[in-house]
């Protein structure tokens, strides 16, 4: 049985929507990059997303705050 409390070494980000309809898109690893997961957030909603052996990139459309181990940034136009 897998130990769910086991720490993971993969990086993650936190995305906080600053408007309705923010889209978060997970992109695959490998020879051809493809979309593999999409989520929509409304204003004030927060999502934690993790980079894994299957997810090499995360694309964000809309106004959002993105928190990483490197700091905070904003996406979208003001």
* Residue 15 main-chain phi, psi, to 5 deg: -120, 125
Which residues, in sequence order, are bridge partners of residue 26?
37, 58
How confident is the model at residue 10, as a pLDDT?
A: 64
Classified by CATH at the fold level, domain 12-73 comes out as Immunoglobulin-like (2.60.40)
Residues in the chain: 78
Confidence (pLDDT) at 2: 52
Provide the residue ranges of all domains of the chain, joining segments of one domain with +. 12-73
User: Mean pLDDT in each 10-residue stretch from start to end of the chain (78 residues)?
Assistant: 50 93 88 82 94 82 95 87
């Amino acid at each position: 049985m897998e130990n769910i409390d086991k720490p993971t070494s993969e990086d993650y980000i936190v995305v906080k929507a600053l408007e309705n309809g923010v889209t978060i898109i997970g992109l695959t690893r490998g020879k051809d990059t493809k979309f593999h997961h999409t989520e929509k957030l409304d204003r004030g909603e927060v999502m934690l997303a993790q980079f894994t052996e299957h997810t090499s990139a995360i694309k964000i459309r809309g106004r959002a705050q993105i928190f990483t181990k490197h700091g905070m940034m904003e996406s979208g136009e003001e």
